[in-house]
Amino acid sequence: MASPRAARAGTTLGALLARLPAPPPRRYPAVQLIPRRWLNLQEYQSKKLMADHGVTVQRFFVADSANDALEAAKRLKATEIVLKAQILAGGRGKGVFNSGLKGGVHLTKDPLVVGQLAKQMIGYNLATKQTPKDGVKVKKVMVAEALNISRETYFAILMDRACNGPVMVGSPQGGVDIEEVAAATPDLIFKEEIDIFEGLKSTQALQMADNLGFKGPLQQQAADQIKKLYDLFLKVDATQIEVNPFGETPQGHVVCFDAKINFDDNAEFRQKEIFAMDDKSENEPIENEAAKYDLKYIGLDGNIACFVNGAGLAMATCDIISLNGGKPANFLDLGGGVKEAQVYQAFKLLTADPKVEAILVNIFGGIVNCAIIANGITKACRELELKVPLVVRLEGTNVLEAHRILNESGLPITSAADLEDAAKKAVDSVENK
């Protein structure tokens, strides 16, 4: 089972579009790890980026108290106001707060009502289809000028592995859950690949606008918005920009009513301003602590902690634990270029989790030097007075030296010959406690 957090952070859109044939049934319970994005922006932050790039969004303010929301509503001087809870998950419109309030998106003409509603939003958990069961605490609300919507469409641009580049996806049936549209009426989903070297052609943008049902002068306007969204997509190194609803007003304007942008983590070095806006407040504290040391932590719900390098090895490790009848508690990905101090921190984080009853180290030394890992492990075991069984499988660069360090440490460390052996020993150590 993936943690709710991991499940929520992933998008299923790319997978959905790939329309892959169903995989053969698995013989054992697989651990599903949905790749997570490390940078998360709230709707108001995404909309600020969009506005800065000429994309049409509503005027808005952000508030973190009911009183600020009330003041913002007054300052807007709008005929109608839309109040939106800011959490990273979608489906807010149909969500429920633990204050009893229904709906994370509300329309009203009265600023006083904005204040009253904000009071039932801020500080309370909002549960939607995409959040864990208990919901996510709302810390901020967006107070925006409401516009009438005559038609809601769906528009997204994403980097699609299957197409080796950007793809536009649109549907005239927007506002609702796009997965449902894709399942019930797949012919209402339009997909158009973009050649990243040639860029988005005007004809393509116009065609997509037409597919979305924008007619007459609205077609050109929608195509212009689509082009600006594509420019933004490239400029900020996005992996996905999703606008649902991409709507039309009775006054004849094309407006982005909602916004979700995902970013390519590898571009952090050239997108410093955007990464500085990262909203980590919804992360587990342990994830943020891990990130401080350049470690990636993902919580799961079993009892065997996995200490690995690389996401692929992490998944293989989790799978093989499941295959042997165990359950991973979490995994911590060291990455390459690891220092001894990181190994120590990693152990500290793993053992801080009370669910952990055994630790399985599975490191394949390529760039990573196994001796550094071994030194980090022995230091951590001594200083943290490790109380749970530790099974270690090291392979690759400098592995003989690593084994010498572990053997001579005198610490109760179980060595494993290979991954299968390591998983068996870790599962046994939990069962025979």
Residues with a known catalytic role? 154, 242
- The two tokens of residue 62 are 């952000």
211 is in an annotated binding site: no
CB of 173 to ligand GDP, least distance (A): 12
Q: Footprint of ligand GDP on residues 157-216 (CB under 6 A)?
A: 175
The binder of ligand GDP chosen from 4, 10, 93, 335 (CB under 6 A): 93
Residue 261 CB contacts under 8 Å (≥ 6 apart), including other chains: 41, 46, 49, 236, 238, 240, 241, 242
114: Cβ contacts below 8 Å, ≥ 6 apart: 69, 70, 72, 73, 81, 83, 108, 143
Query: How big is the CA angle at 234 (ends 175 and 209), to the nearest 5 degrees?
Result: 40
Q: How far apart are CA 362 and CA 393, in angstroms?
A: 5
Rounded to an integer, what distance in angstroms lies between the CA atom of residue 157 and that of residue 161? 13
Judged by CB, which is closer to ligand GDP: 230, or 257?
A: 257
**Residue 198 DSSP symbol:** T
Q: Judged by CB under 6 A, which of 17, 82, 416, 427 binds ligand GDP?
A: 82
Query: Under the criterion CB under 6 A, does residue 92 sit at the interface with ligand GDP?
Result: yes
Residue 371 binds ligand GDP (CB under 6 A): no
Of residues 173 and 345, the one with the C-beta less far from ligand GDP: 173
Q: Which stretch binds Mn ion (CB under 5 A): 58-66, 254-262, 321-329, 348-356?
A: 254-262
Q: For residues 19 and 191, give the distance between their C-alpha atoms in angstroms, rounded to a whole number.
A: 12
> Should residue 242 be labelled a site residue for ligand GDP when binding is judged by CB under 6 A?
no
Q: Examine residue 244 and tell whether it contacts Mn ion (CB under 5 A).
A: yes
Rounded CA-CA distance 117/114 in Å is: 5
> Which positions from 107 through 146 interact with ligand GDP, judged by CB under 6 A?
107, 146
Residue 415 parent element (H or E) = strand 413-415
Cβ closest to ligand GDP, residue 126 vs residue 426: 126
As a whole number of angstroms, the distance between CA 425 and CA 321 comes to 10
Concatenated DSSP letters of 84-133: EEE-SSS-GGG-EETTS-B-SEEEES-HHHHHHHHHTTTTSEEE-TTS-T
Contact 424, 432 (CB under 8 A): no
106 binds, among ligand GDP, Mn ion, none (CB under 5 to 8 A by kind): none
C-beta of 206: minimal distance to Mn ion in Å? 25
**Of the two residues 58 and 120, which places its CB atom closer to ligand GDP in the complex?**
58
Q: Measured from the CB of residue 189, what is the shortest distance to ligand GDP in angstroms?
A: 17
Tell me which of 258, 287, 333, 357 binds Mn ion, using CB under 5 A: 258
- Tokens standing for residue 424: 């068996």
Nearest residue to 324 via CA among 254, 422, 220: 422
197-236 footprint of Mn ion as x/- string (CB under 5 A)? ----------------------------------------
Dihedral in degrees, nearest 10, Cα atoms 148, 154, 159, 161: 160
**CA dihedral defined by 317, 322, 326, 331, rounded to 10 degrees?**
40
Question: Is 242 an interacting residue with respect to Mn ion (CB under 5 A)?
Answer: no
Establish if 287 lies at the interface with ligand GDP (CB under 6 A). Answer: no
Site string for Mn ion, 370-409 (x = CB under 5 A): ----------------------------------------
Q: Which residues of 26-65 are buried (b: 16+ CB within 10 A; e: fewer)?
A: eeeeebebeebbbbbbbbbbbbbbbbeeebbbbebbbbee
Find out whether 147 is annotated in a ligand binding site: yes
CB contact at 8 A, 66 and 83: no
Task: Candidates 83-91, 199-207, 296-304, 374-382: pick the segment binding ligand GDP (CB under 6 A).
Answer: 83-91
Query: Does residue 257 interact with ligand GDP by CB under 6 A?
Result: yes
Q: Which residues are annotated as a binding site for Mg(2+)?
A: 244, 258
Q: Which residues are annotated as a binding site for substrate?
A: 309, 366-368
Q: Which residues are annotated as a binding site for GTP?
A: 58, 91-93, 147
Contact residues toward Mn ion (CB under 5 A) are 244, 258
Contact residues toward ligand GDP (CB under 6 A) are 58, 82, 84, 90-93, 105, 107, 146-149, 152, 175, 244-245, 257-258
